[in-house]
Amino acid sequence: MSLRDATSASPATLTTTLAGRLRDAILRGDLEPGSKLVLDRIRVGYGVSLSPLREALCRLESEGLVEAEDQRGYRVSPVSADNLTEVIRLRVELEGMAVREAILHGDAAWEGRVVSALHQLSRCVHGARSAEEQEVWEARHRAFHAELISACRMPLLQQFCETLHDQSDRYRRIFLKDHAPDRDVPAEHAAIAGAMIERRADDAAKLLREHVERTGRNIQAALRGAA
């Protein structure tokens, strides 16, 4: 059971809705890494009470997007080159494993979902003009990567991958905010999807690894530039 899925599956309790809004704000970079989250300010800002706010932050903490310290409140998780390196490293390793399992267990229905997700992703532009278009691309991009490993039959692994993917998305959106993509990302996605559907496990893992690591290197470069 994914934490994010709960947003749509259940009747949406206030806590769940709020967690989603805050997560988006952090992933989008609206809330600066390392900045203190003053509960009372957020409370009035979002028009809720403290209880659901605390619970929402607690969920975000388990996703590694905020950090809490007893008696000292919450802050947005800081960013660092070391942390990014670890995130990329773990993504490569874990998504690699998940991809191989998905290839092993995926059926025709799964293939269809992958093709569909790829198609929907290809229908929106990456370097989008409006912020809204960007959000659509982000959502479909995330959905595509999730679909690739959806057949792996390892729910825990899927959750780890989702968490790591969110982390790396945050870095990309903060540090590659106005960089034009330097490579043919849609082609990379198509190549990965193709390899998976054709059951070429080694190729798929290799392509995904390169895809993730290339993005990682670009972010590292921008991060060094910012510091």
Partner DNA sequence: CCGGATGAAAATATCGATTATTTATAGATC
Partner DNA sequence: GATCTATAAATAATCGATATTTTCATCCGG
Q: Which phi and psi (to 5°) does residue 39 adopt? A: -55, -45
Among 1, 109, 187, 227, binds a copy of itself (CB under 8 A): 1
How far is 62 from 43, CA to CA, in rounded Å? 20
CB 206 within 8 A of CB 89: no
Q: Rule CB under 7 A: is residue 11 a binding residue for DNA?
A: yes
Interface pattern 137-176 for a copy of itself (x via CB under 8 A): ----------------xxxxx--x---x------------
Q: Measured at the alpha carbon of residue 64, what is the angle toward residues 60 and 36, in degrees to the nearest 5?
A: 70
Q: Rule CB under 8 A: is residue 8 a binding residue for a copy of itself?
A: no
For residue 79, the tally of other CB atoms under 10 A from its CB is 20
Q: Which of 96, 151, 150, 147 is nearest to 119 (CA)?
A: 147
Q: Rule CB under 7 A: is residue 21 a binding residue for DNA?
A: no
Interface pattern 38-77 for a copy of itself (x via CB under 8 A): -------------x--xx--xx-xx-x--x-xxx------
Q: Measured at the alpha carbon of residue 220, what is the angle toward residues 193 and 146, in degrees to the nearest 5?
A: 25
DSSP 35: -
Among 6, 48, 124, 143, binds DNA (CB under 7 A): 48
Q: Rule CB under 7 A: is residue 14 a binding residue for DNA?
A: yes
Q: Which phi and psi (to 5°) does residue 74 adopt? A: -110, 155
CB 13 within 8 A of CB 63: no
Residue 71 or 130 having the CB closest to DNA: 71
Q: Where do contacts with DNA occur on this chain (CB under 7 A)?
A: 11, 13-15, 36-40, 48-52, 54-55, 68, 70-74
Q: Where do contacts with a copy of itself occur on this chain (CB under 8 A)?
A: 1, 6, 9-13, 15-16, 51, 54-55, 58-59, 61-62, 64, 67, 69-71, 82-83, 86-87, 89-90, 93, 97, 153-157, 160, 164
